């Protein structure tokens, strides 16, 4: 269930780099932290270009009254990861008590954990919890290189030969059909990784004829097939045109320009912020999980909170009929 947001003050206690370009930040939380399960996330008030914004990060296993996150520095960061990377020990931030929308069910006879790159963050805690409670679990962890995989030593100690690593720079990739076939029919898979990986897993899961309710995943909508480029939109019936910078979303740019929008999840799940595309020059980088593959191919609409144009311009329809 979704809870009302509970903001707390926290102070940076410790920073380290568990892998190349990945920084782990541990916060001491004033007033403590209620117990939370793996898969939980926290929202942090960040500052981007002098403006306040909210970014969501998975809570890693941490000490009592602490919240820990691990953040990869994105070359094309919209600013969230750059802010986290700028933090110094002792600095204060505001964050929310952990909330979970990616919970282990604890009812499967066996679990398949699939992590891609920095998508390891929720999967790491799940692996710990499942191993600690003697559950049957297999994990496949893929990334660009071995050096880009945080927490590998811990996970190897925890899972032994139940963990397989796949380093793309050594030509190692996860054979999704094969690993899904090894899972008993009532087994569950938990996936976190780039959107391309998630789509491949969903397709393989469907090919295997498995029920979608046993495939569980979480998205943050912050990575697409293409790098972030600026693009232009004109809003039909308003006379408003905006340039969407690489470090902001279409939704953010519209709001900045005074366009009234409705939205909720801001991670490409709910579809409330979707806009119509009346005319368009430039490819769409769909980064949501709201539209079906077919709807994405048709390209009539896009989620303004996460999806972008790869440069170019468009006339969009937000439903305003003066």
Binding part of the chain for another protein, among 82-90, 110-118, 246-254, 285-293 by CB under 8 A, reads: 285-293
Of the pair 33, 69, the CB lying nearest another protein is at 33
First to last CA, the chain: 38
Member of 18, 230, 246, 271 binding another protein (CB under 8 A): 271
Residue number, 79 or 194, with CB nearest to another protein = 194
Query: How do beta strands 215-217 and 188-192 pair?
Result: parallel
Q: How far is the CB of 82 from another protein (least distance, A)?
A: 27
134: which 2 tokens?
A: 């003697």
Of 124, 217, 220, 231, the residue at the interface with another protein (CB under 8 A) is 217
Question: If binding is defined by CB under 8 A, does position 54 make contact with another protein?
Answer: no
Task: Tell me if 316 sits within 8 A of 273, measured CB to CB.
Answer: no
Residues 6 or more apart in contact with residue 277 via CB below 8 angstroms: 284, 299, 300, 301, 302, 314, 315, 316, 317
DSSP 238-278: TTEEEEE-TTS-HHHHHHHTT-----S-SSSSS-TTEEEEE
- Count of CB atoms situated within 10 Å of the CB of 169: 11
Q: Give the DSSP letter of residue 16.
A: E
* Residues from 175 through 214 that contact another protein (CB under 8 A): 211-214
Give the pair of three-digit tokens for residue 122: 């929720």
Per-residue x/- marks for another protein, 1-30, CB under 8 A?
x-----------------------------
Distance of closest approach, residue 133 Cβ to another protein, in angstroms:
5
CB of 2 to another protein, least distance (A): 8
Choose, by CB under 8 A, the member of 78, 81, 95, 218 that binds another protein: 218
In the list 64, 160, 178, 209, the residue contacting another protein (rule: CB under 8 A) is 64
Locus of tokens 């990739």 = 173
Strand partners, 94: 9
Pick from 28, 222, 269, 285 the residue near another protein by CB under 8 A: 269
For residue 98, what is the DSSP state?
P
**Interaction pattern, residues 96-125, with another protein; x per rule: CB under 8 A:** -----xxxxxxx------------------
Determine contact, residues 233/280, Cβ cutoff 8 Å. no
33 touching another protein, by CB under 8 A: yes
Confirm or reject binding of residue 69 to another protein (CB under 8 A).
no
Min CB(85)–another protein separation in Å: 26
Taking alpha carbons only, the member of 167, 117, 109, 118 closest to residue 138 is 109
Contact status, residue 205 vs residue 197, Cβ threshold 8 Å: no
C-alpha span between 170 and 186 (Å, rounded)? 33
- Contact between 272 and another protein by CB under 8 A: the answer reads no
Residue ranges in contact with another protein by CB under 8 A = 1, 32-36, 63-66, 101-107, 129, 133, 135, 211-214, 216-219, 265, 269-271, 289-292, 294-295
């Amino acid at each position: 269930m979704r809870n009302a947001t509970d903001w707390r003050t926290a102070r940076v206690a410790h920073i380290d780099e568990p892998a190349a370009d990945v920084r782990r930040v541990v916060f001491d939380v004033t007033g403590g932290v209620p117990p939370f399960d793996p898969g939980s996330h926290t929202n942090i008030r960040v500052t981007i270009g002098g403006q306040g914004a909210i970014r969501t990060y998975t809570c890693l296993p941490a000490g009592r009254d602490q919240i820990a996150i691990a953040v990869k520095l994105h070359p094309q960061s919209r600013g969230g990861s750059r802010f986290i990377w700028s933090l110094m020990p002792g600095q204060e931030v505001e964050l929310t008590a952990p909330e979970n929308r990616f919970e282990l069910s604890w009812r499967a006879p066996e679990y398949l954990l699939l992590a891609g790159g920095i998508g390891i963050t929720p999967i790491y805690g799940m692996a710990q919890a499942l191993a600690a409670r003697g559950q049957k679990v297999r994990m496949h962890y893929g990334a660009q290189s071995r050096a880009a995989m945080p927490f590998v030593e811990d996970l190897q100690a925890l899972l032994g030969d139940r963990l397989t690593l796949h380093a793309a720079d050594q030509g190692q990739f996860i054979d999704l059909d094969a690993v899904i076939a090894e899972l008993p029919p009532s087994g569950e898979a938990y996936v976190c990784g780039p959107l391309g990986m998630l789509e491949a897993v969903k397709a393989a899961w469907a090919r295997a004829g498995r029920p979608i309710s046993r495939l569980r995943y979480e998205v943050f909508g912050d990575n697409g097939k293409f790098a972030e480029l600026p693009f232009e939109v004109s809003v039909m019936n308003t006379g408003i045109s905006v340039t969407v910078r690489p470090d902001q979303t279409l939704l953010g740019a519209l709001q900045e320009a005074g366009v009234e929008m409705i939205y909720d999840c801001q991670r490409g799940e709910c579809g409330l912020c979707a806009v119509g595309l009346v005319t368009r020059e430039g490819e769409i980088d769909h980064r949501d999980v709201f539209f079906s593959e077919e709807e994405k191919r048709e390209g009539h609409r896009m989620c303004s909170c996460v999806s972008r144009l790869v440069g170019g311009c468009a006339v969009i329809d937000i439903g305003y009929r003066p």
